[in-house]
Amino acid sequence: MARKFKELERKMSPASIASSDIIYRRLKQDMALEELRDALRLTQQHLAETLQVDQSAISKLERRTDMYVSTLERFIEAMGGRLEIRAVFPEGSVRITQFEKLAAKAT
């Protein structure tokens, strides 16, 4: 029989809960597009309608490992977000703005 998470959590020690929370936050920061869409409770069909494409195009896009920045940007915007591209170095990260400037020129 399935049990509710809160029921299981009540049996966990505070240290276990803290450890679980750390893992959850780490996982939440790293997601594939399909996982992100699922986490936002959006369907492929909903995104397809928003982007005016077939549902199969959304499925293919979620499985791609390489795509145009503009395609990824449209996908993220269809989910209600905004795409930011960062370069991460040991000294810190830098937000890359080149693509924002190109998009502004196109409109």
Which DSSP string corresponds to 41-63? Answer: T--HHHHHHHHTS-HHHHHHHHH
Q: What is the pLDDT of residue 22?
A: 76
Q: What is the pLDDT of residue 10?
A: 81
Q: What is the pLDDT of residue 106?
A: 61
Q: What is the pLDDT of residues 18-41, one digit of tens each?
A: 877 777 776 667 888 998 888 888
Q: What is the pLDDT of residue 2?
A: 56
Task: Report if residue 34 sits inside a domain.
Answer: yes
Per the listing, tokens 């069909």 go with 45
Q: What is the pLDDT of residue 41?
A: 86
- CA distances for 25 relative to 44, 56, 104, angstroms: 25, 31, 33
pTM of the entire predicted model: 0.67
Task: Report if residue 86 sits inside a domain.
Answer: no
Can you give the CATH number for the domain in which 53 is found? Answer: 1.10.260
The SS3 assignment for 86 reads strand
Task: Report if residue 3 sits inside a domain.
Answer: no
| Total structural domains within the chain | 1
Q: What is the pLDDT of residue 105?
A: 62
Task: Report if residue 23 sits inside a domain.
Answer: yes
Domain containing residue 20: 13-81
Residues of the chain predicted below pLDDT 70: 1-3, 5, 26-28, 101-107
Task: Report if residue 29 sits inside a domain.
Answer: yes
Task: Report if residue 93 sits inside a domain.
Answer: no
The SS3 assignment for 89 reads strand
Task: Report if residue 52 sits inside a domain.
Answer: yes
Q: What is the pLDDT of residue 27?
A: 64
